[in-house]
Every structure is written in C-alpha cells, then in structure tokens.
C-alpha cells in the first residue's frame, strides 16, 4: 500500500511541485491538498491520510493549530504530521513537536531528503537526529509556555533502567543504529526498548517520547548559546 499524503500549504506552486514529486514514487500517493490549517483538519478527517505534510505559516488557521487538532483527534491516531518550516522562528519548531508533530524539514530540503523524511515519519519514526535539530529541541522544549505537559518525572518509574537509558539517547538525537553501537546491542533490540518506553508512557511516536524526556528531566536542555 502506498503512503497516503495530504499536502497543506498556502502556496499553490509548492503544492504542485510536491505533488509531482510524490506522485512520481510508486510508494506514495497525494490524496488531497489544503490551503490552510482548517482545511487540512477537515481533509485529514475525510481522507485519513498516513501523513500530513504541513506548512506552519498559512492564513487563517495556521499549521501549528492544525497539527495540534489532528494529533489530538483519536480518529486520526494513525496520521503523522511532518512540518515544513523556514526555521525563521525556532519556537515554532518546539511548539510543533509538543503539539504532536513527528518532525520537521526546511523548505529548502532536497527532493531525496523530503522523500526519505516522508518514509521515515510514515514508518512511525521521527526526524530528530541532525545536530541543528537537536540544538533546537534542547533549547526550547523544556521552556515554559510551549504546550501541554505530556509526562511527569514520576511516570519514569514504569520504565526499566535500560529503557530510560535508551530514551535519553533518543532525546539527544541519536538513531537506533547509533544507540546500538554505544550499548553493544542490535538495532532491533534498541527499537524494542524504544517502543516499550513509548507504550508505557503513552507516547504517540518517537518525537513525543523526546518531548517527555525533557519534560520529566530525564534529558536536560542546553544552556543558551550552546551548540
């Protein structure tokens, strides 16, 4: 089955470009296009896509609000949101992640990176590994006023020591392969620990697990000015 994608962007040229690119792939299909956040929510509920490629800045209902609505809708629990951003305001990225987005890409992303990102997020993983992304997360996710608290420190009691260790590495932006190398285990074992931690904490996906790591204090934010 192809990955069913909903495009949400107010720029018609970008939507057309993305549609041509995605429809050229045998494993992807664009099911609808939205010009603002409100339409994105309506079309997501109508088509139940696997993934929404969401712009942040749109007229009317913006992408952040739409992301929050989509990710909090039980009927859309299997729909992932991948944010597109120009990185103009870093706090937007943190808000998007805390609203339930599974990752983000810059609008200057290459075609290959975009397709790889869609496949990654649709598979239930997240785009949190690049160094610049990790810096944004550590600077802003722990800041007050950026969204609903998803977990408290006492919730970590449900995790094993190894699950906490793996969760910490995930929060620091490491891939399963990188964590496996550090812990001298297989990537499959790491993936199992990640999914068990997600299940115990009620995390929607890997990105939300990262949010929880910072909210519970398991991972610490970098001080301002730290790369």
Going along the chain from its start, the domains and CATH numbers come out as: 3-127 (3.40.50.2300), 153-215 (1.10.10.10)
Maximum CA extent, the chain: 50
pLDDT in tens, 5-53: 999 999 999 999 999 999 999 999 999 999 999 999 999 999 999 999 9
DSSP output for 192-218: HHHHHHHHHHT-SSHHHHHHHHHHTTS
pLDDT at residue number 222: 53
pLDDT at residue number 48: 97
Mark residue 54 as left, alpha or beta (left: phi above 0; alpha: psi -120 to 50; beta: remaining): beta
pLDDT at residue number 134: 54
Question: Are 59 and 10 contacting, i.e. CB atoms less than 8 angstroms apart?
Answer: yes
Residue 146 in 3-state DSSP? Answer: coil
pLDDT at residue number 206: 79
pLDDT at residue number 11: 93
Residue 84 in 3-state DSSP? Answer: strand
Mean pLDDT, the chain, rounded, equals 84
pLDDT at residue number 129: 46
Q: What CA–CA distance (Å, rounded) separates 7 from 124?
A: 18
Residue 186 in 3-state DSSP? Answer: coil
Say what the alpha-carbon torsion angle 87, 88, 90, 93 is, to the nearest 10 degrees: -50
Question: Are 140 and 190 contacting, i.e. CB atoms less than 8 angstroms apart?
Answer: no
Specify the residue for token string 């290459």: 110
Averages of pLDDT over runs of 10 residues in the chain (227 residues) are 95 94 96 96 97 92 92 92 72 73 82 90 69 52 57 90 93 84 93 93 82 83 50
Strand partners, 82: 53, 103
């Amino acid at each position: 089955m192809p990955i069913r994608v909903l495009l949400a962007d107010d720029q018609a040229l970008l939507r057309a470009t993305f549609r041509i690119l995605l429809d050229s792939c045998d494993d992807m299909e664009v099911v609808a296009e939205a010009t603002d956040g409100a339409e994105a929510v309506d079309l997501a509920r109508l088509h139940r896509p696997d993934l929404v490629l969401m712009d942040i800045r749109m007229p009317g209902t913006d992408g952040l609000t739409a992301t929050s609505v989509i990710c909090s809708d039980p009927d859309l629990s299997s729909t992932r949101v991948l944010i597109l951003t120009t990185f103009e305001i870093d706090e937007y990225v943190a808000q998007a992640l805390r609203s339930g987005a599974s990752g983000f890409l810059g609008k200057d992303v290459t075609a290959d990176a975009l397709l790889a990102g869609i496949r990654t997020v649709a598979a239930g993983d997240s785009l949190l590994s690049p160094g610049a992304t990790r810096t944004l997360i550590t600077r802003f996710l722990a800041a007050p006023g950026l969204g609903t608290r998803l977990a408290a420190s006492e919730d970590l009691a449900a995790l094993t020591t190894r699950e906490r260790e793996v969760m910490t590495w995930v929060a620091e932006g490491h891939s399963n392969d990188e964590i496996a190398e550090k812990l001298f285990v297989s990537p499959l074992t790491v993936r199992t620990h990640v999914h068990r931690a997600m299940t115990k904490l009620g995390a929607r996906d890997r990105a939300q697990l990262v949010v929880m790591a910072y909210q519970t204090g398991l991972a610490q934010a970098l001080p301002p000015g730290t790369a």
